[in-house]
Amino acid sequence: MEPFKGTDVPVLLLTNNVDEFCFNQSGNFKGKRFVNIESSYDEIHKDLGKQDSDAPVSRIPEDDIGSFNLWLKNELSPVISRVTLSKRLKDTPAIVVG
């Protein structure tokens, strides 16, 4: 939900797994489409019309990011398959995606 803080995009917090199924079956409400923001972030990002230039500029040099990602992947290699820099986080230092 972090990418939507400070935006005018309405977000529903659903606590029951069946809720997502029900909303997906209903399709939309007043022209607003229901989308799971956890699994469809790239699609929502495109729908909002945002470009990659809107993403915050990293204060960490690109060489350091690459070497850190490689180190982290090697340290956690039996458990993870990829480490990348996220453009959707604002306040959170890291996110694990399945």
pLDDT per residue as tens digits for the range 47-94: 665 544 445 556 777 778 888 889 988 998 888 888 887 777 777 777
| Token duo for residue 21 | 């199924």
Helix ranges restricted to H, 1-98? 17-26, 41-47, 62-75
Tell me which amino acid residue 55 is: A
For 7-59, the pLDDT digits (tens) are: 777 888 888 888 888 888 888 888 888 877 776 566 666 666 554 444 555 67
Is there a contact between 43 and 3 (Cβ–Cβ < 8 Å)? no
What is the reported pLDDT for 57? 55
